[in-house]
Structures are given as C-alpha cells and as structure tokens.
Structure 1
Amino acid sequence: MTAAEVVARWLRLVEADAELSPYLIGVDLGRLSAHLTASLANALDGHATPTEGWRGLGLSEAQHRRMVDYLVGVAELRAFEVLA
C-alpha cells in the first residue's frame, strides 16, 4: 500500500466519523490528501510527522488523537500487508 493509499483510507475513516467529518466541510480534500501523502512519505523516511497537515482544522485534543489513531490503524494495516 502506498502513502497515497494510506491517506485515502484514513480520509475515508475520518469522513465516516460523525464527529470528525464536519471539520472537513470547506476543506480542499485533494490538497489535504496531497499534503498528508507527502508528509507521510517524509515521515516514513524519518523526516517529518504526518499529523502536521490537520493541525489547523480546530480539532480538540481528543479529536486529534482519534485522527492519529485512525492513521496508525491504517499504517499498521499497510505494514501487515507488506509483511504478508
């Protein structure tokens, strides 16, 4: 699974979350996806953290942690698929 596929799966999870999805209203999802894909690719190379892209959405700390949990879950799935 590529970084773009990880971000796409993560974004689908966030969009399906009734509490988090309203924070995406008015957000250019293509631009957010591209930014997070680049950030994730850099993070996988050890250069940045992929969570920087949504810091400006106005999320509470609990909501931010949930978004991170979604991303970690998708990334773990990616790692599992690579090892399988």
Structure 2
Amino acid sequence: MSAKPGPVFLERRTYRRRRTADAARLLPFLGVVLIGVPLLWGDESAEMAKTTRVMLYLFLVWVLLAGLSAIISRNLDKGEDDAPPGETPTRDDM
C-alpha cells in the first residue's frame, strides 16, 4: 500500500499566518465599501448629507483602516516564516 498520509490539518502557526494574509488582501475591499457608504446617505426629499458628517465619517474610516493595517502588518512581520521549527530566519533568508 501507499505510505501513511500526512496530517489533515495545518500547523496552528501556519494557519494563522495564512488567515492574516487573507485579511490583508481583503482590507482594500473593506475600505472601498466603507468609503462608498456616504453615497447612500440622504433623505427621501433628495437632500444631500451634511458635509461635516461625511468628512468626519471618512476620517474615522481612514483611522480605522490605518489601525487595522498596522495590526495586520505587525502580525505578518513577527518573523513566523515558513522556516523549520527551532530555526530562526535571518535577513539573508527573507
């Protein structure tokens, strides 16, 4: 028969790194959706939303996206590369 199959599940560190990379890839799409929300604001009387509220909302979205990207990039840059366990990656390996 064939050799014994490998583990079905990924190592926890590898799994988290991949999901964090997926979150980094989806962050621009989240930004586009959140920045597009003020386009939906307005009353039924065809009045536009107040500029101050829209600018405050856009600033808060910008801060939120910057904070999320900082957290995600910090988690991606912890040095948890695909190096074998017990070895620490060097700058030459990256």
Higher helix share: 1
TM-score, normalised by the number of residues in structure 1: 0.39
